Structure formats: C-alpha cells, structure tokens
Structure 1
C-alpha cells in the first residue's frame, strides 16, 4: 500500500464538475492499493500518515503531525501508484488490487482515518471516478509512504 502525501494549504476534488470534497490546511493523500494488501497494511499506513511529522513547530522545524495540528485529510484513490514502471514506456498494473478488494480497503482506510482524526476532518474522492484534483502544496512538501505486505 502506497500513500503519496502532500502538505497543503487547501485541496479539493471534483467529479463531472461537482465538488465532492475539499479541505483547508492539512494533507492530500493519493492512496494506491496493491494486490497483496490487507487490513494490516491499512492500519499501519493510516497510523504512519496521521503521525508523520511534516508540519512546522513554532521554531519552523518539521516536528508536528496531522494529529498534532488537527488539520484535515483529503483521501483520493489512486490505482496508478501501484504501477510497475521498471521497464519499457508503458506502466503495468498487475500489482494493483482488483477493484472490489481495493474499494473495500479504501473504505476501511477512510473509516480508520475518521476514527483517529475525527469524521469531520476527513474528506474523500470517489472510487473509480474520473476526478479532478486541485491543491496548493504548502512548502512544497511531498512524501511517498508505504506499508508493505508479503505476497501470499
């Protein structure tokens, strides 16, 4: 499971011209779910993202987490993060989780985030939709975080 996190001043997602989620200061998370991921990876990555210290403390050092700042989280499903880009000029998607499994784990992730951060602080993109994501990256600060799983 991969999460591309961007510290943002604001972010939003629209589907077919309709705004379906927006946040002010916090994190935009593009979430990639892989074939061998399960609930353990969901919990591990969610905990890591919510506690990862990428917000400035009073001295300007990246020393505070999203939980510390009580910022907002916008979670957008992003299956292309599971792409194999190791060879050639076209990505392969065999490592991506099948849609039903990915949807279930995406929903589990967003519920876990709501439980830890507070439901009103979490917004989501629409699984399987063609989305338009807008953001103002604060810093810019961007990290790729992972929770790995062993193939079964």
Structure 2
C-alpha cells in the first residue's frame, strides 16, 4: 500500500456540494491499495501512520505522532498514487488494486486507525471529491508498505 501524509491544521472533503468529512489538526492521508496488498498490509500501514513522528514537540522538533498528539486523521482513497509514468505522457494505473479490494483496504486502514485511538474521518471511495486542506509546515511524507 502507498500513502501520502500531509500534516494539516484542518482538512475536509466535499462531495456534490456537501461537506462529508472534516478534521482539525492532524493528518490528511491519501491511501492507495496496490495489486497484491491485503489486510496485513493495511493494518501495518495504519500502525506506521499512527506512530509516525511528524508533529512538533515542545522544542519544535518532529518528535510526536498522531497517537501522541491526539490529532485526527482524514483518510481519502487515491488510486492515482499507483500511477506509472515511466513511458509516454499518460499515466497508467494497472498497479492499483481492483476497486472492490481497494475500497475494503482503504476502509480497513481507516478502521485500524480508529481502533488505535486516532479520531478518524474518511472520504467517499470512488466519488468526485473536493479535498481542502491547510498544510501545516508544510510537511508531506510518502509511505509505502
């Protein structure tokens, strides 16, 4: 699985003009399930996200995690993270998991984060989403399981 984490002051998802999810301080997490991924990969990714030290401590160093800070997670499915741009000008997405599996794995990442005590919201799989965020730092980190 792949994920891009953005440390945020706030983030939200809007679908068809209706805000369906919003968080305050925490992380916007764009998640992509890849071919061959399974529940073990989803759980491992959630664990890494919860423990990743990307938030400032009292000294201003990135020494605190979502679990440490009580920050929230907004999980948004993002199959375009599987883009293959090695040839030509049009990305290919054949490395992404099939939609039914991808939906289940993205939901599992969100559920695993919530089970770890992280307040969690999520986008709507397969929807045309408008994602708004205020990137804090900015801090953007790529994770792969």
TM-score (norm 1): 0.93
Equivalences for residues 62-77 of structure 1 within 5 A: 62-77=62-77
Report the count of equivalent residues: 145
Q: Secondary structure at the match of 2:19?
A: strand
| Comparing 16-25 and 35-44, the one that deviates more | 35-44
- The residue aligned with 1:138 is 136
Kindly state the Cα deviation for residue 83 of structure 1 after the two structures are TM-superposed. Answer: 1.2
Kindly state the Cα deviation for residue 117 of structure 1 after the two structures are TM-superposed. Answer: 2.0
Where in structure 1 are there 5+ consecutive unaligned residues? 148-152
Supply the distance in 1 between the matched residues of 2:39 and 2:115 (Cα, whole angstroms): 15
Supply the distance in 1 between the matched residues of 2:82 and 2:33 (Cα, whole angstroms): 7
Supply the distance in 1 between the matched residues of 2:10 and 2:58 (Cα, whole angstroms): 21
Supply the distance in 1 between the matched residues of 2:61 and 2:100 (Cα, whole angstroms): 41
Supply the distance in 2 between the matched residues of 1:63 and 1:25 (Cα, whole angstroms): 16
- The residue aligned with 2:36 is 36
- The residue aligned with 2:54 is 54
Where in structure 2 are there 5+ consecutive unaligned residues? none
Q: Secondary structure at the match of 1:117?
A: coil
- The residue aligned with 1:150 is none
TM-score (norm 2): 0.98
